[in-house]
Structure 1
Amino acid sequence: MAMKAGWQFADWDLNVDTSASGSIYQHQCMTCGEKSGVAATAEGPDVWCLRHAGLTGHTDFRGAVTTFFRASLAEGSR
């Protein structure tokens, strides 16, 4: 019995997933490694950086934003 294989190609789109929570923000001190809490806006982590700088004298920070995406078949791709 011979087996046949076939390929089917489709176009996909990648979009920001707005059905779940939005982006999340967290900042980290590059001197000591301490991190802010995770927040739904950058305001909380930004304030954390300023307070941390005032308390410790540390001035270098890294900000991370996590955004969620969803892949879906492009319109008319099937």
Structure 2
Amino acid sequence: MTTPRAVWRFADWVLSADASGSDPFYVAECTTCGDASEGAEEREAPEIWSLQHAGRTGHTGFRNIVISFSRASLVEGSR
């Protein structure tokens, strides 16, 4: 009867911006009431939404959310 053996392989990975994916995506969210702007590919639209929301509600705190995309790839020669 043979005993099972494990084979371990280690490799180095790197994370970088995904140039083949979408551009960053921007959203603003009110920290008082939780309302949020629509997402946009330019940061100006969520900024304008924040100012308009502040004018309508008096809420002054906002969370600026930037969603970007990345891709993991194996470093050459790391196996």
Taking the aligned partners of 1:4 and 1:35, their CA distance within structure 2 comes to: 54
Any residues of structure 2 matched to 1:1-78 within 5 Å, and which? 1-78=2-79
| Pairs aligned (count) | 78
Could you list the structure 1 runs, at least 4 aligned residues long, displaced by more than 4 angstroms after superposition: none
State TM-score, norm by structure 2: 0.89
Structure 1: 5+ residue stretches without partners: none
State TM-score, norm by structure 1: 0.90
Q: Aligned with 1:76: secondary structure?
A: coil
Taking the aligned partners of 1:3 and 1:29, their CA distance within structure 2 comes to: 57
Taking the aligned partners of 2:72 and 2:41, their CA distance within structure 1 comes to: 23
Q: Which amino acid aligns with 2:70?
A: F
Q: Sequence identity of aligned pairs in percent?
A: 51
Structure 2: 5+ residue stretches without partners: none
Taking the aligned partners of 1:26 and 1:58, their CA distance within structure 2 comes to: 17
Q: Aligned with 2:15: secondary structure?
A: strand
Query: Shift of the alpha carbon at 1:3?
Result: 2.1
